[in-house]
Amino acid sequence: MRYIFHVALLISIGLIACTGNKHEGVQQISPDGLEELLANENTVLIDVRTPEEVATGYIPGATLFIDAYSDDFESRLLQLDKDKTYAVYCLRGGRSARATDLLASQGFSSVYNVEGGIDAYTGRLIKN
């Protein structure tokens, strides 16, 4: 009985950790909502996937590519201009949720996590 409780607790924690942002300052945006957000010249679209993933294609308008697995990931994010608006995406939304939580916790006031990541994006991709 105790074993079942522990397994259920671990599964619950895992589901909570994967279901979005923990920080109140982060807004969720659908991939379809990106076009309107990117129309504002103050908005920066950040791709936090690996270089190998980016090579398969990225969302038009992405201007920053910061690998979430790189050693300098957090420091590169925290060097960004706090007066800008940031939309962040990855493959499915986990890495971008981590990035947007970090930004919001450090005082960035206009932060968006792209729900479902590039997997949910239905538009054309830019390929190198």
pLDDT tens sequence across 8-57: 433 433 433 444 555 678 999 999 999 999 999 999 999 999 999 999 99
Tell me, what's the pLDDT at 24? 75
For residues 64 and 46, the answer to whether their CB atoms sit within 8 Å is yes
**Domain boundary assignment for the chain:** 20-120
pLDDT of residue 56: 97
Please tell me the distance from the alpha carbon of residue 11 to that of residue 21, in angstroms, as a whole number: 18
For a pLDDT cut of 90, what percent of the chain falls above it? 80
Q: Which entry of 66, 90, 91, 111 is annotated as an active-site residue?
A: 90
Averaged confidence pLDDT in the chain: 87
Q: Does the domain spanning 20-120 belong to CATH 3.40.250.10?
A: yes
State yes or no: is 18 an active-site residue: no
Task: Evaluate whether 12 touches 95 at the Cβ level (below 8 Å).
Answer: no
Give me the mean pLDDT over the 67-76 stretch. 98
| Top-confidence residue, 120 or 15 | 120
Residue 103 clears pLDDT 90, i.e. is over it: yes
Distance (Å) of CA 75 to CA 33, 70, 99, 119: 28, 10, 11, 27
